Structure formats: structure tokens, C-alpha cells
Amino acid sequence: MSSGILILFVAALATVFFYSRRHSKLPLPPGPSPKFFTGNVHQLPKKEPWLMYTTWAESYGPIFSFRVPNRQFIVLNSLQSATELLDSRATTYSDRPRRWMYTELARRNLTPFNISFTHPYFKTYRTVLKASLSSRTIRSYQLLQTEQSRVLLDGLYKSPEHFADQIKRNSAAVVLYLAYGWKVTQNDDYFIGILKEGSEISAMLSQPGRWLVEAIPSLRFLPSWFPGAGFKRVAFDLGQKLRRVDTIPFKWSKQQIRSGSYTHSFVSTQLLPEDGSTVSAQQEEITKWCSQGIYAGGVDTTSSSLTSFVLAMVLYPEVQKHAQAEIDAVVGQDRFPTFNDRDKLPYIGALMQELLRWAPVAPQGLPHHAMREDVYKGYRIPKGATIIANILAISRDKEMYPDPLEFRPERFLGPSPQLDPRKFIFGFGRRACPGLHFAQASLYLNIACILAVFTIAKPLDERGEEITPPAEFEDTGVLWHPKPFKCRFIPRNKDLMTTLSQ
Ligand code: HEM
């Protein structure tokens, strides 16, 4: 380490030490014992931190704390603690923590996920996204969702072994159309390719433990040419690439609008207001970032959930039979389920709730940030602390969901249903997910249509005997996907399937 870095390192430690001694009136929530300099870094896994948090919650209770250099974490493991802080005290907890590499150095501070609660754009983002993704507004995309759902069914029929890729294509196609009016027509779609590159870069820049500057923020002041400051050049280059990812689809959409031959989309609605008013440069910038929020928030989340649905059907054939019986009774066997059938299919509705609970897509949501010091249940929540809502622990709370690892849609039916997981799966306070209606609409249609025409079955071994895949998940940054698994899509309504190619 060069002497410059050493001086900055000592200065950073001194700041942390001084800061940690300043407030001592009330205790922090309990938690695992930290080491003097590095806190709890040595106990944190590189992957799936929510599993460790859930184990710690068993020892330390519904609210615990731990620290890493330069950051105090508070983890909320019960629905009560999460709603009492993040919902009821939303003005204190709706900011996002700064991530030096990703948000600041690569300049991603204006994305809807990262924008500060106090930034003048914040309220406009929320208003625009909520209005454009409201349950009423998204009805105008039902035709597109239906078209893409048919493409998915066709793909599952023709190459069932690639079901996970077909599902990803479906989510990306729907979201690209919603955001920009871009129609995906082939598997190696150009926009899907660049957006995939974008999410890989974002994951690299946000990877916990990878960048020293997160632990010693003063390193960001080093000039880029300084020995050891290569991370600044990396952040700059990758930030540039990400800007390209944001700009290409947005520019394409603008060009279509200008040429007059555009399809209705989020961007067209924003850039061509109904009252005919002129859109300012600032409104245009807001539209660009919000369209980025739609594709970045909408693709991997819904595809992960739909892949978990396939896994759940493989593992719980009796649930699948029950759902298919409901579809056959309500919809019949000579047409596909539509959005109009949704209210008449309560078991499918309960299956979706159970899917969101059983395989939470974002098991620790996104981090919130305490904007001022607070007190909760006799504990001090320091200003600047990063607050994690442990959605995984809440969804597996045995008091709310007996036998939480079992996939049981019946939980949400009958006279005393268990708590609706949509109360927490989509996050909290003023940062709660604006895409929840759109995500559920996509999930509903795909689930109902897949079950109408296929039975999803366990894979067979070389002797022709069924193998049960394990219910295992892996993380990709903040999201949780099922680990790759095999299954069979057995057509159960060939007549309906043949209508796809007509
Ligand atoms: C199963 C599907 C989905 C799940 C489980 C999910 C979950 C979440 C969660 C937990 C958050 C963080 C909330 C918080 O900080 O407390 C979030 C934020 C967000 N989601 Fe979703 N999401 C899903 C689908 C979507 C879709 C389809 C879109 C867009 C079309 C979307 C757009 C966003 C955006 C823009 C944010 C950032 C909000 C902000 O920071 O103000 N999400 N989502």
C-alpha cells in the first residue's frame, strides 16, 4: 500500500472511531460481536447475505445491528419492525445509502433506485412511475402481454429445455415494449443484449466487498493517475458504458416519435403530453431515467418469479392439478385464459401470492438510509445507518406462515387467510416498488396460460424414472433466482397449442 493510501486509511479509521464514540446514550440493537477495526466483515458471506441475517435474527430477535468499516447496518426481521420504521416513519427512512463506486463514481445517482429522497427529481419520479404503472394505466399493455405470452407458450412447446431463456425473453420483451415501444422479434434481440450487459456491469460495480472505496470513502479524492486509484478509472469507464445502455433505447424511442411511426409506450406518453404542451429538457431527462427504472426493475424480477413458479409446479404436482382444474372449470378448454378471467380464478390468485412469498425475488429488498438519528424500542438508530428489511425472514415467519417452506396457496383462501405477502414483498415506505401491478399482471397471464396448455413435470433419469430437483436458489446481486434445474413441459391441450401457429 502506498503511503498516500495508508494516511487516508488511518484518517478514515480515526473518523469511524470518533463517530462511534460520539453517541452513547442508548444502545444499538443487539448483534454479533464486531472486531475493533473491521466490525463484522469476517462473518459476512460473499453471497446471499439474507441467509446469514435470517440465522442472526434467530439469536438477536426482530431487530439487530452489525457494522462493516464505515457503515452501520440495522436489520429489521419482523413485519412489525419494518412497517413501524420504514412505512410509519417514511420521511426518516426513505433515502438510499450512498454507494461510492456505483452511485457516485460511476454517476448512477439519478436512477430511480438510487436517487436521494431529498433530490428535487425524487417526487416527480415517484409520481410519474406510479401513474404510468397504475393498475388502470397498464391495461393499455394487455394486448402486448397477451401476444408475448403466446410467444412464450410457443417457445416452451418447441424447445422446452430452454424454458428459463424463454421466460427471460418474455419479461424483457414486455418491459422493453412498455418502456420504449420496442418490439422483440428474435431471441438474440439487440436491445436485450445491451440491457443484459448493463445489468452485468451494475452488478459488478455494486458487488459487496469488492471495492475498497466503500470502506474508505476518502479514497475517492485520489487523482485517477495515483497508484492504487485504478478503481476510479474502472468506475469512469463502466459508468460511460452504462450511460450508453440508458441512452440507446431512449434515443431510438425518441426518433420513432419524431418520425411519427411510433408505438404507444411510457416514453411516448411522457414526451407527447395529451394537452399538447412542450416538454422541457428537464422533463425529458426525467423520462429517460424513469424508462431506465422500468426496464432495470422489471426484467430480472418477473423472470425470476416465473422461473420459481415452474420449480414450484415441479415440486408440488397437487397444487398444479388444483390450479388446472380451476382453469378448466372457469375458462374451459377451447380458449386461453385472459385478463377478464382473473377475478374468477381465486386459486390462481392465491398461487401467485404463495409464489411471491415462497420465493421472494428480492429477499432483502433494497437498502434504506436513516436520514436522522432515531429511537426504536429503546434502541438507537444512528443517523446514516443502512437499514435492511429482511423480507426473507418475514416471509418465513412461522407465526404468520406455519410450515413456511411448504408451497401452499390454500394459506390465502378461506375464512381466515394468512397475511397477504404483497404487504412486504414489494418493499416499504416511499421507496415501495412502483411496478407491482405490472409484475402481477404479467405473472398472472403467464401462469394461467402455461397451466392451461401444459403440465410441468419432473425430469426423468436415464432409466425413465422421475428425479426431484432440489428447491435451491442463488443470488445475482440483490435478486434471488432458482438454481438451474430440469423439467418437462407436457402438452395437455394440443388443440389450443395448434392455434398458436395459425
Ligand atoms: C415480482 C416482481 C417484483 C418484485 C418482487 C419487486 C420488488 C421490489 C422491491 C423489494 C423494491 C425495493 C423497495 C424498497 O426499497 O423498499 C423495488 C423497487 C423498485 N421496483 Fe420493483 N419489483 C418487482 C417488479 C418490478 C417491475 C415489473 C418494475 C417496473 C416495471 C419495477 C420497478 C421498480 C422500481 C423503479 C423500483 C425503485 C423504487 C424506488 O427506489 O423509489 N419492479 N421492487
- Say which CATH topology domain 3-501 has: Cytochrome p450 (1.10.630)
- Per-residue pLDDT for 313 more than 90? yes
Q: Which residue's C-alpha comes closest to atom 40 of ligand 1?
A: 113
CB atoms within 10 A of CB 377: 13
Pairing state of beta strands 488-491 and 454-457? antiparallel
What is the per-residue pLDDT across 449-472, written as a single tens digit (0 to 9) for each?
Answer: 999 999 999 999 999 999 999 999
Question: Is residue 390 lining ligand 1, measured as CB closer than 6 Å?
Answer: no
Cβ atoms of 95 and 369 closer than 8 Å: yes
Q: Which residue's C-alpha comes closest to atom 7 of ligand 1?
A: 426
Q: Which of 127, 433, 436 to mutate to test the pocket of ligand 1 (most atoms within 8 A of CB)?
A: 433
Rounded to an integer, what distance in angstroms lies between the CA atom of residue 110 and that of residue 119? 9
- Atom number, ligand 1, closest to the C-alpha of residue 129: 35
For 25, the grid coordinates are: 446514550
Give the chain's count of helices (H) and strands (E). Answer: 17, 10
- Specify which residues 389 forms β-bridges with: 76
> Annotated binding residue at 433?
yes
Question: What count of Cα atoms within 13 Å lies in the side-chain half-sphere of residue 391?
Answer: 26
Helix axes 230-259, 163-180, angle to 10 degrees: 60
For 87, the grid coordinates are: 412505512
What b/e string do you get for 198-227 counting C-beta neighbours within 10 Å, with b at 16 or more? bbebbbebbeeeebbbbbbbbbbebeeeee
Question: Is residue 31 lining ligand 1, measured as CB closer than 6 Å?
Answer: no
Q: How far is the CA of 279 from the centre of ligand 1 (A)?
A: 27
Question: Is residue 305 lining ligand 1, measured as CB closer than 6 Å?
Answer: yes
What is the per-residue pLDDT across 406-461, written as a single tens digit (0 to 9) for each?
Answer: 999 999 999 999 999 999 999 999 999 999 999 999 999 999 999 999 999 999 99
SS3 358: helix
Cβ atoms of 428 and 365 closer than 8 Å: yes
- Per-residue pLDDT for 6 more than 80? no
Cβ atoms of 387 and 93 closer than 8 Å: yes
Q: How many residues does the chain have?
A: 502
What is the per-residue pLDDT across 12-33, written as a single tens digit (0 to 9) for each?
Answer: 555 555 445 555 589 999 999 9
Cβ atoms of 380 and 26 closer than 8 Å: yes
For 309, the grid coordinates are: 413458479
Question: Is residue 366 lining ligand 1, measured as CB closer than 6 Å?
Answer: yes
Q: How far is the CA of 426 from the centre of ligand 1 (A)?
A: 6
Domain boundary assignment for the chain: 3-501
Rounded to an integer, what distance in angstroms lies between the CA atom of residue 466 and that of residue 76? 41
Tell me the pLDDT band of 187, cut-offs 50, 70 and 90: confident
Q: Which residue's C-alpha comes closest to atom 37 of ligand 1?
A: 113
What is the per-residue pLDDT across 195-242, written as a single tens digit (0 to 9) for each?
Answer: 889 989 998 998 877 888 988 888 999 998 988 889 999 999 999 999
Q: How far is the CA of 294 from the centre of ligand 1 (A)?
A: 9
CB atoms within 10 A of CB 470: 10
